Amino acid sequence: MTLKDLLKFLYLTSFPLRSIRLIRIIRLIPAISIPLLLFTITIYFYLLRDLPSPRSLSSQPLPLTTHIRDRNGQVLYKIYKNQNRTLVKLTDLPVALRQAVISIEDSQFYSHNGYSPTSILRALIKNLNCATGKPALPAGGLANCKTSLQGGSTITQQLVKTSLLTPEKTLKRKARELVLAIAVEALYSKDQILEMYLNRVSFGGSSYGIEEAAQTYFGKSASDLSLPESTLLAGLPASPTTYSPFGAHPELAKSRQKEVLRRMVENGYLSWDQAEAASAQDLNFAPQKTDIKAPHFVMYVKEILSQKYGPQIVEQGGLDVITSLDLSIQEQLEKIVREETARIAYLHIGNGAALVTRPKTGEILAMVGSRDYFDFDADGQFNVTTSPRQPGSAIKPITYSLAFGRGFTPASTIDDSPITYSIPGLPPYQPVNYDHRYHGRVTLRTALASSYNVPAVKLLSSLGVPNLIDFGTRLGISTWPDPSRFGLSLTLGGGEVTMLDLATSYGVFANEGRRIPIYPILSVTDSRGTRREVSGPVPESVLDPGIAFLISDILSDNAARTPTFGSRSQLYIPGQVVAVKTGTTNNLRDNWTIGYTPELLTAVWVGNNDNTPMSYVASGITGASPIWRRAMDLLLKIYPSSGFSPPTSIARLATCAGKSDYFLAGTLPPPCPSPTPTGTPKPEVQPTPDILTGASTEIYNKPKLKNPRRR
């Protein structure tokens, strides 16, 4: 039936009054619909245009905190940008905590549709009163108006306000909040809304979400909160600064807790006896301290993560990073470095650094980059372990391992006598030993173990500086890119290296010729629980296992180093087989001790961050060695040395000097000449050529001009 037919029917059925009314109503439709349409358009453009989608609450990722942990799961540091947040499921939270939050924030949470009409009306009255200069509430004064617009917000509205809208206090924003709250209630369940709220709301400072609040205030997970702890935290979101137990008025935190307990009683969640018992219970707050452990290591790991995943993922992606560091070892090593550097401060030694690694895996067990990270006056944040420094004689084992691959043996002899190298256009270069003495013909074993300088320079003269640079790079040195910069003093530490690189290279000796790059991360898990990284560095064979053994055997030979260091030095650890080498630069700016077993490696440096020289360091023993010795005494209790076993390519044979030594296959010594009978003509014997007899003058291109005396 058409409208025309309907009107005709009404007219013919003698209902004149009703017909007249209907006609009038129909005539009014255009007059009503046009303003209604205009009102709708106005509302749309004023409130609804560009309104964020409530679906983004679940689709857009929150900024999450990245946790860096030690190998046992202890948190070393939390990385976040403005908001420190860790997500937690509602089902993992104590029931009392949920009840406390609902009681104090929104007692009708499970019954309303996103808004509370009575709360809105109460807020409207206050706002109107404030606008007209009247007391905000009957019992209040104009001071109540300081907060401008009254909220009257439900938990749903608070979620919308903090997650979807800007924080300004205007009627427009409040209306948009109401519309979005209704939409959120239609899209999500009550438990989903409560979980999102508890993970997003601020609890003061950088603590966002209930999990970080529990860690900040009580040092525990939110799942372990007691009733008193839950009620105190539940009262914070309304005004975290005012009610913080760490704020200027901690008594307000207690008053707020009592108010939460009272509301829980009113809502039937607790009895008065339970509330009073909870209120009377003392709370043990977590101490407020600098929340970082192993700071140099943590910043080193953060840099690696940022390079691999990007700063945004690291700062907001919620990664869970398990590192190789052992916090117990780290803290003890920090203590040792701090105490020992304090003892030698009179030697103008202002700083120390140490590194402990596992050669078989490349893992870092401890890293102390400077004596005190928080000593800003001494540039304590500077990480010596990652910064190039001159290694002194600590570089010599690389030279000798190259020589052993070129036919030299530990029993080969070399003349420790004066020698001068003439360089056209430059002053002559004459290396000298640390003790300013020469020791005549010595074996390479003695020369390396006793750290004689002249034999090391003669050896490098025979091998060639470019060959040493290539070889050192293969072992793990990354700071020798330009061979033209270096000369013969490179074997005495004339080329800077990092402690990490030196530890990598020494790790090759400890690991039977296999190089495993040092890497501090065991695993990386993203916020969804997906493992992003679980595999460690891949080992690469870069040195004959026999040569690696020869170096380790020499560096652990206490008798061979006795002429220089004595038989009972800090380097000798009774009952343990430990390879160790010291290094001191001629200018006394760097002092090193590096020692290892197959199970672990410890490198120690002392000096000054401003590169000023130390006043005196005797034989490389009074500086870094005491730190190294204390560290090794500690570590060997955890990782006892298994010693160095010769591979099948190594044989131990007697030498003509009446001793025995190890020899690599292909480098066996020639047989000793037999005694000649009396009266028998002396046979012509081709003499074994002297090795580097040390002519009065040898020429080598571009050696260093410095004259390092290193041990």
| Both tokens assigned to 334 | 């920090």
Q: What residues form DSSP beta bridges with 607?
A: 351, 590
Which residues touch 164 (CB under 8 Å, ≥6 apart)?
A: 52, 54, 56, 57, 180
Least confident of 11-20, 264-273, 689-698: 689-698
| Both tokens assigned to 469 | 């640079």
Residue 148 confidence (pLDDT): 41
Least confident of 19-28, 76-85, 251-260, 355-364: 19-28
Residue 137 confidence (pLDDT): 46
Residue 482 confidence (pLDDT): 85
Which residues touch 586 (CB under 8 Å, ≥6 apart)?
A: 492, 706, 707, 708, 709, 710
Q: 174-211, pLDDT tens digit by residue?
A: 788 888 889 899 999 999 999 999 999 999 888 999 99
- DSSP SS3 for 53: coil
Question: Closest Cα partner for 511 from 628, 395, 405, 601?
Answer: 601
The CB density around residue 530, as the number of other CB atoms within 10 Å, is 8
The mean of the pLDDT values for the chain is: 85
Model confidence band, residue 152 (pLDDT cutoffs 50, 70, 90): low
Q: 213-225, pLDDT tens digit by residue?
A: 999 999 999 999 9
∠ CA 256-260-262 to the nearest 5 degrees? 115
Q: 441-492, pLDDT tens digit by residue?
A: 999 999 999 999 999 999 999 999 999 999 999 999 999 988 888 999 999 9
Give the mean model confidence (pLDDT) for residues 377-405: 95
| pLDDT tops 50 at residue 125 | yes
155: alpha, beta or left, given left = phi > 0 and alpha = psi -120 to 50? alpha
Residue 406 confidence (pLDDT): 95
| pLDDT tops 90 at residue 4 | no
Residue 671 confidence (pLDDT): 64
Q: How far is CA 399 from the centre of its chain?
A: 34
- Strands (E) in 266-349, as ranges, are 320-323
Question: DSSP readout, 219-262?
Answer: SS-GGG--HHHHHHHHTSTT-HHHH-TTSS-HHHHHHHHHHHHH
- DSSP SS3 for 349: coil
Is the overall model pTM greater than 0.85, yes or no? no
